Amino acid sequence: MLLAVDVGNTNVVFALFSTLEEGGREIRARWRIATDPRRTGDEYAVWLLQLMKIEGIARESITQIIFGSVVPRAVHNLTVLAEKYFGLEPLIAGEGAAEWGIAIDVDEPRSLGADRALNAIAAHARYPGDLIVVDFGTATTFDAVDFNGAYKGGIIAPGINLSLDALVGNTAKLPRIAIEAPRGASVIGTNTEDQMLIGVFWGYVAMMEGLIARMREEIGRPANVVATGGLAILFDEHTRIFDAVDADLTLEGLAILAERAAR
């Protein structure tokens, strides 16, 4: 099995891919832990091996490890985890045998985050034509991928939770609220909590719809919009801008790179 690790700014996701008899692959198990660059390889091992034991997965069944990281300090500790506890040299997305393998048509290709490159790779493999990939993470990113699979650039916006944290943290009386769809269709709130939720939620929907419309106009060809990340499903219920919601896009990108490297 393949152990794929997606290191984001907020969470680290571990996923185990198994190969299907009829071909292809599926995610057999996945686990999430808060990102902490100080977490050692030994600490990762204690946590991960216990979870694998609960799932009945033997350590020896892991034959390949790959990780993509937007947190450089986490790379060393995950490498220790792979080498010390699994006896494997890990693949690092974007490097060596796991290089991107796509054109990155931006001013500074090396500055592109691993998650965005992985999303581009997986989206091109799964969906036809020109694409706009929206990833709801700590930041929300909008990425343009052309019909040849080339990464053409994109947009970085504050994530909705960052926006809410800034609003609450810089005001004296506004309460902390949970991100959810506002009740009813009205955008005129009659209490503080509803007014905040309407501003954050519908304001975010309006931003997404406006930016995607501008991106489509600039691309000049029909472009499918693929959403991923934790809040994609919630927003998909309240806007028609997404053509597909794919929660595992980044992990799938890791699996594609690992498969290429094994050939």
Tokens of 177: 């609220």
Catalytic residue, chosen from 105, 115, 194, 248, is 115
75 is in an annotated binding site: no
Residue 42 known to bind ligand:
no
119 has binding-site annotation = no
Is position 159 annotated in a ligand binding site? no
Task: Report d(CA 164, CA 123) in Å as an integer.
Answer: 29
115 included as an active-site residue = yes
Q: Is 176 annotated as a binding residue?
A: no
Q: Is 19 annotated as a binding residue?
A: no
Are the CB atoms for 102 and 150 separated by under 8 Å?
yes
| Cβ–Cβ < 8 Å for 134, 212 | yes
Question: Is position 134 annotated in a ligand binding site?
Answer: no
Name the nearest CA neighbour of 136 among 55, 208, 77: 208
How far is 217 from 156, CA to CA, in rounded Å? Answer: 18
To the question of whether residue 141 is assigned a binding role by annotation, the answer is: no
Among 263, 261, 251, which residue's Cα sits nearest to residue 121?
A: 251
Tell me the binding residues for K(+).
135
Active site residues: 115
Give the annotated binding-site residues.
Answer: 6-13, 113-116, 135, 138, 192
Binding residue numbers for substrate: 113-116, 192
Annotated binding site for ATP: 6-13, 138
